[in-house]
């Protein structure tokens, strides 16, 4: 299943996408004419880590030539490729243990406005650089460690034109393998067969390279994963449901793959969990979203837009997504699915009210990508806001999580579990 999930994200690695596997054992003085600040190499007697460790990273240079330097404890293979709109350069590497100072990459230099790094999937890591304008990789190489110097990954970026940048993107995407979804066209919203356990898919948002909203030490990706696991445990305790998580560890999963996962599992309900941020700090409480192309208000629209940027943050090519399933019949399925989603949402609100503070307008509509499976009733729960202190205190409290998980389970059970009971007793 993992392979399936990451298929679209990673098979582009098969090609030679601006591939730069240079292993230079020597130092060309000209290449290193820019300042390279000395940084601590791992102590010689430290036990070697199972995966390569990144110990430091920095930007140097200016708009004419910007250099990214990453210090590693050993040489790794890597490839660099561009993505457009927004302009980004992506460095893909094997799994890296990023032991970098917090906050690194939040400010830019030269043509790079910011960069992010993290795990993309099992055995894969990535660095994503945001560019203020089109850029071209002039040089990309990695230097072997020498004496007290760590291995150094160096990427030099110089100015380019939009035309040339787009040509480079097209060239690299030619190598990417996009497989079409093999899931058949739905004929109606998913339902479970009599006597069978309904499949519930829980989708903790973000993960890996994409932390989601961050508040001090607390990251949305961790908060929602902990909640997802608590909910899974409570649902399983009932013995009435099959439960699957789109991720049960700290990895990134593209939005389309989350939806595809729920479809392939024939889920009768997908619950996406989030805890986002809004510039309006006074906004608090839990909110439930169901799909609508027109958002119910400006804040909902903003939140959905923020949420749908997850792929851009992680450097996933948005044009890589399959076309939405279209057609009149599908529209009918979609409408029915939407009605079921709304029923679930109302049920959740009823039970959540008993254990937590709900937003003053607890059911809202917006165009979240993860809610778009035509045959899977889907809701997105904003547990609270990382921008609100009271909410953060609750969401990081294990006891609160259990109360919330029990409330959500009760709501799901009322919608689905009762039916199973009556089928079984008939
Ligand atoms: Zn989120």
Q: What ranges make up the beta strands (E) of 77-133?
A: 79-83, 88-94, 97-98, 112-121, 124-131
Q: Is residue 232 part of a domain?
A: yes
Q: Is residue 392 part of a domain?
A: yes
Residue 197: per-residue pLDDT: 92
Distance, CA 385 to ligand 1 centroid (Å)?
10
**pLDDT over 60 at 17, yes or no:** no
Residue 178: per-residue pLDDT: 45
- For tokens 């990427």, the residue is 155
Distance, CA 381 to ligand 1 centroid (Å)?
10
Q: What ranges make up the beta strands (E) of 237-366?
A: 242-245, 269-274, 286-291, 358-366
Residue 123: per-residue pLDDT: 81
Distance, CA 386 to ligand 1 centroid (Å)?
10
- pLDDT tens figures, 152-161: 999 999 999 9
- 99 and 169 co-located in one domain: yes
For residue 418, what pLDDT band results from cuts at 50, 70 and 90?
A: low
- 111 and 241 co-located in one domain: no
Distance, CA 415 to ligand 1 centroid (Å)?
26
For residue 282, what pLDDT band results from cuts at 50, 70 and 90?
A: confident
- 275 and 168 co-located in one domain: no
Q: Which domain range does residue 321 map to?
A: 199-425
Distance, CA 369 to ligand 1 centroid (Å)?
12
What is d(CA 315, CA 295) in angstroms, rounded to the nearest whole number?
26
- 248 and 390 co-located in one domain: yes
Where does residue 317 fall: left (phi above 0), alpha (psi -120 to 50 degrees), or beta otherwise? beta
Q: Is residue 363 part of a domain?
A: yes
Distance, CA 235 to ligand 1 centroid (Å)?
23
* Strand 199-204 with 269-274, pairing: parallel
Distance, CA 287 to ligand 1 centroid (Å)?
12
| Count of CB atoms situated within 10 Å of the CB of 109 | 16
**Which residues have C-beta within 8 Å of that of residue 332, sequence separation ≥ 6?**
none
Distance, CA 408 to ligand 1 centroid (Å)?
19
Q: Is residue 259 part of a domain?
A: yes
Distance, CA 221 to ligand 1 centroid (Å)?
8
Domain count of the chain? 2
Distance, CA 135 to ligand 1 centroid (Å)?
30
Distance, CA 395 to ligand 1 centroid (Å)?
14
What is d(CA 264, CA 372) in angstroms, rounded to the nearest whole number?
14
Mean pLDDT computed over 117-126: 84
- 269 and 398 co-located in one domain: yes
Distance, CA 333 to ligand 1 centroid (Å)?
27
Distance, CA 212 to ligand 1 centroid (Å)?
5
Distance, CA 201 to ligand 1 centroid (Å)?
17
Q: Which helix (H) or strand (E) holds 285?
A: none
Distance, CA 293 to ligand 1 centroid (Å)?
18
For residue 299, what pLDDT band results from cuts at 50, 70 and 90?
A: confident
Task: Identify the CATH number of the domain in which residue 308 sits.
Answer: 3.40.630.40
Distance, CA 271 to ligand 1 centroid (Å)?
13
Distance, CA 241 to ligand 1 centroid (Å)?
26
For 273, the token pair is: 């969990």
The last residue of a domain, from among 173, 188, 212: 173
- 234 and 375 co-located in one domain: yes
- 209 and 162 co-located in one domain: no
Q: Is residue 189 part of a domain?
A: no
Q: Which helix (H) or strand (E) holds 204?
A: strand 199-204
- 208 and 133 co-located in one domain: no
Are 271 and 262 within 8 A, CB to CB? Answer: no
Distance, CA 213 to ligand 1 centroid (Å)?
7
Are 86 and 168 within 8 A, CB to CB? Answer: no
Please tell me whether the overall predicted TM-score, pTM, comes out greater than 0.85 for this model: no
Distance, CA 141 to ligand 1 centroid (Å)?
35
For residue 20, what pLDDT band results from cuts at 50, 70 and 90?
A: very low
- 226 and 83 co-located in one domain: no
31 or 291, which is more confident? 291
For residue 52, what pLDDT band results from cuts at 50, 70 and 90?
A: very high
Task: Identify the CATH number of the domain in which residue 58 sits.
Answer: 2.60.40.3500
Torsion of CA 118, 119, 125, 128, to 10 degrees: -40
For 18, the token pair is: 């601006």
Residue 8: per-residue pLDDT: 33
For 270, the token pair is: 């997908």
Distance, CA 205 to ligand 1 centroid (Å)?
5
Distance, CA 85 to ligand 1 centroid (Å)?
21
Mean pLDDT computed over 417-424: 50
Q: Is residue 2 part of a domain?
A: no
Q: Is residue 192 part of a domain?
A: no
The last residue of a domain, from among 124, 158, 173: 173
- 145 and 272 co-located in one domain: no
- pLDDT tens figures, 186-228: 778 888 877 789 999 999 999 999 999 998 889 999 999 999 9
* Strand 53-61 with 242-245, pairing: unpaired
Distance, CA 80 to ligand 1 centroid (Å)?
28
- 166 and 206 co-located in one domain: no
Residue 338: per-residue pLDDT: 92
Residue 318: per-residue pLDDT: 56
- pLDDT tens figures, 214-267: 988 899 999 999 999 999 999 999 999 999 999 999 999 999 899 999 999 999
- 110 and 232 co-located in one domain: no
Q: Is residue 7 part of a domain?
A: no
Give 183's DSSP letter. P
């Amino acid at each position: 299943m993992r392979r399936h999930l990451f298929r679209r994200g990673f098979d582009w690695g098969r090609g030679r996408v601006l591939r730069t596997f240079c292993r230079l054992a020597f130092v060309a003085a000209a290449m290193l004419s820019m300042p390279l600040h000395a940084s601590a190499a791992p102590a010689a007697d430290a036990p070697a880590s199972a995966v390569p460790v990144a110990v430091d990273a920095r930007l140097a240079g200016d708009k004419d030539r910007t250099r990214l330097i990453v210090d590693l404890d050993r040489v790794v293979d890597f490839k660099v490729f561009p993505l457009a709109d927004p302009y980004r350069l992506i460095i893909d590497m094997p799994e890296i243990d990023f032991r970098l100072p917090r906050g690194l990459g939040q400010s830019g230099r030269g043509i790079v406005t910011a960069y992010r790094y993290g795990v993309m999937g099992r055995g894969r890591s990535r660095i994503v650089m945001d560019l203020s304008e089109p850029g071209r990789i002039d040089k990309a190489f990695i230097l072997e460690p020498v004496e007290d110097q760590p291995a150094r990954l160096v990427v030099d970026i110089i100015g380019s034109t939009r035309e040339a940048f787009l040509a480079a993107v097209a060239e690299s995407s030619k190598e990417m393998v996009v497989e079409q979804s093999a899931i058949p066209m739905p004929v109606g919203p998913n339902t479970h067969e009599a006597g069978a356990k309904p499949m519930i898919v829980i989708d903790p948002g973000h993960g890996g390279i994409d932390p989601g909203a961050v508040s001090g030490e607390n990251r949305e990706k961790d908060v929602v994963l902990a909640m997802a696991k608590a909910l899974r445990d409570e649902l399983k305790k009932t013995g009435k449901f099959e439960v699957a998580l789109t991720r049960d560890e700290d990895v990134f999963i593209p939005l389309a793959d989350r939806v595809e996962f729920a479809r392939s599992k024939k889920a009768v309900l997908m619950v996406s969990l989030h805890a986002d941020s809004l510039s309006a700090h006074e906004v608090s409480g839990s909110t439930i979203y169901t799909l609508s192309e027109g958002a119910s208000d400006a804040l909902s629209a903003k939140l959905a837009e923020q949420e749908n940027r997850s792929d851009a943050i992680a450097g996933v090519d948005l044009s890589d997504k399959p076309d939405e399933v279209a057609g009149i019949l599908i529209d009918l399925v979609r409408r029915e699915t939407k009605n079921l989603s709304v029923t679930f949402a109302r049920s959740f609100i009823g039970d959540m009210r008993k254990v937590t503070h709900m937003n003053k307008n607890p059911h809202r509509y917006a165009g979240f990508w993860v809610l778009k499976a035509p045959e899977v009733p889907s809701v997105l729960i904003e547990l609270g806001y990382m921008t609100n202190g009271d909410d953060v205190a609750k969401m990081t409290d294990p006891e609160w999580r259990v109360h919330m998980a029990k409330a959500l389970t009760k709501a799901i059970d009322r919608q689905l579990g009762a039916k199973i009971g009556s089928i079984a007793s008939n």
